[in-house]
A and B are shown apart, each in its own frame.
Chain A
Amino acid sequence: MNRAIGRVGTAVIALMLMLVGMLTYLQVIHADDLANDPRNVRAALKDINLPRGPIVTTDGEVVARSVPVDDGTEFDYQREYPHGNLYPQVVGYQSFVLGSTGVERTYNDHLVGRDPALRLEGIGDVFSGQEAVGTVVLSLDHQLQEIARDALGDQRGSVVALDPTTGEILAMYSNPTYDPSGLAGHDTKQINQVYKFLSALPDKPDLSRAYRERYAPGSTFKTVTASVALETGLATPETPYPEIRSLDLPLTDAELSNFGGQSCGGTLAVSFRRSCNTTFGQIGLDLAEAFVAGAAAFGIGDVPPIDLVPEAALSIGPRAGTFQDEQPQFALAGIGQGPVSTTPLQMALIAAGIANGGVIMEPHVVKEIRDADGDVVRTIPVREWKTAISPVTAQAVGAMMVSVVEDGTGTAAQISGVTVAGKTGTAQTDTGDPHAWFVAFAPAEAPTIAIAVLVEHGGSFGSEATGGRVAAPIAAAVMRAHLGR
């Protein structure tokens, strides 16, 4: 029996070594990934009892702060969100049950003072008794954020505004929203209840629609279609397109109609101002596979590198290698329907790229980090994300967008004394009334703001809604405030 017992013993040793092997994988090789996984709340827990700096807007409004409490729990601080449901999609929350999200997570190390730059400054503070926590300064403007909220009202949708020259987000709001205070408490049961309640709501208020949800962009995507047509040399603004009611879609019996069934056409510039589906459907077909690369240059298919957790959703466009078999999809893509699905953030970035001579800057919501004395210890760098088109193309598309606001579908976005460039969109959906869109930038000569507004299912206008009627006035309100008009 001894030989067999020896073998059994060897087998047991082998099993134990297997366990040691797995442990080595978990605790050494894969350890960092597991420790930093967003679903692992331990990192948030580790910092929950540390003093934590405030988060303020660029105009000095406090949107998150920690106050010392003695509420009989093991926690020494309570995180507060004074503006409740105005900022949750940007600032996020710090919860000892759910972990943390948004700026609370991406800039956690700065908030608790773990940033070496803060440490260095903090040496002196050891003697003065001050905590070496950082103040995170958002690029968001509190006034704009409030105007975005008020303009959207109780309609479901998103507003994303940014500085096209730096990528700094100036306002980012979506409705429905929620108050993160209920998730930052000290009672596990209560937090779970609030979380369950929020997740179960059909409106999904905890979803950051502005950068996490995709929608058909409709005619606002014609900015991309026109850009690619010019950039590839397929057309110039003067290239004529026929005045027709509908476009036959190849390989099918279906056809593509203009808005309201009208006949539409003219030069590319005129077609753009009138938002002719027939023209841009034709361009989508003519571009064929070149459309894919052209859209990719605007960041379609890539995750915008915004400084938030959870990360932004990527937007999708016509799929590479499918033109041969699915030509109608390229016609639909030309008018921002069919395979095209974008986030409001992505549409704002497209407008920003056209505004910035064809270069899209990396979007970010934080501008700088300050120490307890208010001195800036770190500035978030300004970087280029994509070179979408040449300055010449950007100039030409910008001029077409100006005509949209001057005497096209977007006149509701006019601001007296300022040239506004914009494009409306009314996107068909399978689920109800069309989405109303508007993308814009201003002043057209030297833009300081680019914006995308989406109102889901037409908002208060329902089936009567168009981008020009519903979304353009909201964009105008925000731009007007930014430009001080």
Chain B
Amino acid sequence: MKSRRNVELRLGLLAVGITGLGYVLVQLPEKSDIPADLWFFVTIFVGLYVLAHMAVLQFAPNADPSLLPLAAMLNGIGFVTISRLDPDLARTQVGWMAAGMAAFFGTLVVVRRIRTLERYRYTFLLLGLLALLLPLAPGIGKTINGARLWVGIGPINFQPGEAAKVLLVIFFAAYLVDKRELLSSGSRRLGRLVLPSVKHLGPLLLAWAVSILVMVMQKDLGSSLLFFAVFGAMLYAATERAAYLITALVLFVGGATIAHRLFDHVQDRVTTWLDPWPVAADEGFQVVQSWFAFGTGGFSGTGLGRGNPQLIPNAPTDFVFSAIGEELGLIGAVAVIAAILMFVGSGFRIALEAERPFPKLFAAGLTVIMGVQTFVIIGGVTRVIPLTGVTLPFISYGGSSLVANFVVLGLLLRISDDNARARGLVRRRTSAPTGATPS
């Protein structure tokens, strides 16, 4: 499995190289010389990457070799785009990257066996719900840009909701694996659909209801949509019953309709999604500017540092993809989507390769988070769906999200490593029964 790590190292250095070049290009239109802090940032980036690579080598030597380089690539493109938009934010982002790498390292070190997580499912449920509710706590909860998603302790603000996603996916994977026989056997039938009895659905509906309620209270539509999609997908994956997908869909449409009735900000989002042009100077400004960015970028983009992505509000966070679309064009935008798709593809492959149900469902859940989150935010900025503010994995500015993404990366690598070892074990058993067993 040594070759897997070599592949990882080479791909990773390629990602670092692309980031360094991008960083130079961003500065060229303004200064026409190589930025003075280039070596500083490239050294940090290379350093972080080599450390991460060594961590994998040490703690998950047989894991999939493509995930870490893909994450580095996306993270690098994000860093270059942020540094192009706001150099001060870019400096902070370097700090968050270090924190993310630390979380990645910590995940690999602490979570030595994925099944340990399965045991503490209710602890994770509790922690997850706590994390969701924390921003509502008086004193430490903070409202930024109209959404009460933040917790501020001293000078540091963070979004515990990002951690809640991972924590709740652990709980759901463990819970569903436990109950999937019951859930899929069902007691009642409605035509071709098999309906499970309500008591088995209890905890699930409760968690669901709480997460939705909190989302509504915190005005975070994007995360709400994300939770629905992830839990619906996991329920379907665990039971293979289409009835759950339909139930999830009905619940979502119902919830969305009620939210639309009750909340002005939801109505605004829908109105500006359907037709932003009459309000292009007001509520529709962001989306219209985002469209202008994509249109101006065209097929090949304006070139890094040569466009005007600073015209889009919130470009480093929610609209980072519009900035990429303007300066790197359709080519760059599709390359980013392709990289995320490869990441997601690897995630699903890890899920399929897992032999035990918990890691299988857990890997699928984590992967769906990445995929759906990407769809929600890119779909929002391109007006495929109404705009809701979630981050673009590994790319958007923001510490909480970056740390959470690196934890997901660590967990997926852990499962992948387990898979490879399990396979290796089977092979060795057939060929050399006396082989060492790493279990």
Contacts and interface: CB of A to CB of B under 8 A. Distances in A.
Nearest to A9: B348
Given A1-B360, A19-B337, A27 B329 contact: yes
A42 B291 CA distance: 12
B299 A28 contact: yes
Secondary structure at the B interface, as helix, strand, loop or mixed, is helix
Contacts of A7: 236
B44 interface: no
B69 to A, nearest CB: 19
Contacts of A32: 295
B317 interface: no
B371 A16 contact: yes
A357 to B, nearest CB: 43
Interface string B358-371: 00110010011001
The 9 closest A-B pairs by CB, nearest first: A34-B295, A12-B371, A27-B330, A26-B294, A9-B348, A40-B292, A15-B375, A4-B237, A31-B298
A30 B297 CA distance: 11
A39 interface: yes
A183 to B, nearest CB: 15
A42 B307 contact: yes
9 contacts: A2-B352, A5-B351, A8-B237, A13-B344, A15-B371, A15-B375, A31-B297, A34-B296, A35-B298
B334 A20 contact: yes
Given A27-B297, A27-B298, A42-B311, A6 B352 contact: yes
Contact of A31 (B299, B351, B372): B299
Contact of B340 (A4, A16, A41): A16
B367 to A, nearest CB: 8
A20 B378 CA distance: 10
A463 interface: no
Interface string A273-311: 000000000000000000000000000000000000000
A3 B361 CA distance: 12
A224 B330 CA distance: 53
Contact of A34 (B292, B360, B375): B292
Interface string B308-352: 100100000000000001000110011001001100110010011
Contact of B382 (A1, A13, A26, A42): A26
Contacts of B292: 34-35, 37, 39-40, 42
Nearest to B280: A39
A69 interface: no
A49 to B, nearest CB: 11
A253 interface: no
B288 interface: yes
Nearest to B352: A2
Interface in B375-431: 375, 378-379, 382-384
B357 interface: yes
A8 B233 contact: yes
Nearest to B374: A16
Contacts of B297: 27, 31
B378 A42 contact: no
A5 B237 contact: yes
Interface residues of A, number: 35
A67 interface: no
B240 interface: yes
Contacts of B307: 42
Interface string A22-58: 1110111011111101011110010000000000000
A33 B329 CA distance: 16
Contacts of B280: 39
B238 interface: yes
Contacts of A382: none
Given A16-B371, A19-B337, A45-B308, A8 B330 contact: no
B240 A34 contact: no
Interface in B230-259: 233, 236-240
A30 B298 CA distance: 9
Contacts of B371: 12, 15-16
A35 B295 contact: yes
B144 to A, nearest CB: 22
Nearest to A11: B233
Contacts of A8: 233, 236-237, 348, 364, 368
A39 B361 CA distance: 48
Contacts of B344: 9, 12-13, 16
A254 interface: no
Nearest to A46: B308
B330 A24 contact: yes
Nearest to B288: A39
Given A12-B368, A20-B334, A27 B311 contact: no
Interface in B257-292: 280-281, 288, 291-292
A392 interface: no
Interface in A440-472: none
A312 B322 CA distance: 33
Contacts of A16: 337, 340-341, 344, 371, 374-375
A39 B280 CA distance: 8
A26 B292 CA distance: 9
Nearest to A43: B296
Given A20-B334, A37-B295, 17 more contacts: A1-B357, A5-B237, A5-B348, A5-B351, A8-B237, A12-B371, A15-B379, A16-B341, A16-B375, A23-B334, A26-B294, A30-B295, A32-B295, A34-B291, A39-B280, A39-B281, A40-B295
Contacts of B299: 27-28, 31
A18 interface: yes
Contacts of B325: 23, 26-27
Given A22-B382, A27-B298, A27-B299, A9 B345 contact: yes
Contacts of B352: 2, 5-6
A22 B233 CA distance: 24
B41 to A, nearest CB: 23
A27 B333 contact: yes
B297 to A, nearest CB: 6
A34 B311 contact: no
B296 A42 contact: yes
Contacts of B367: 9, 12
A26 B337 contact: no
A27 B360 CA distance: 38
Contacts of B351: 5
B85 to A, nearest CB: 15
A463 B345 CA distance: 78
Nearest to B244: A4
A156 B348 CA distance: 70
Given A5-B364, A40-B296, A12 B372 contact: yes
Given A6-B352, A16-B337, A23-B330, A31 B295 contact: yes
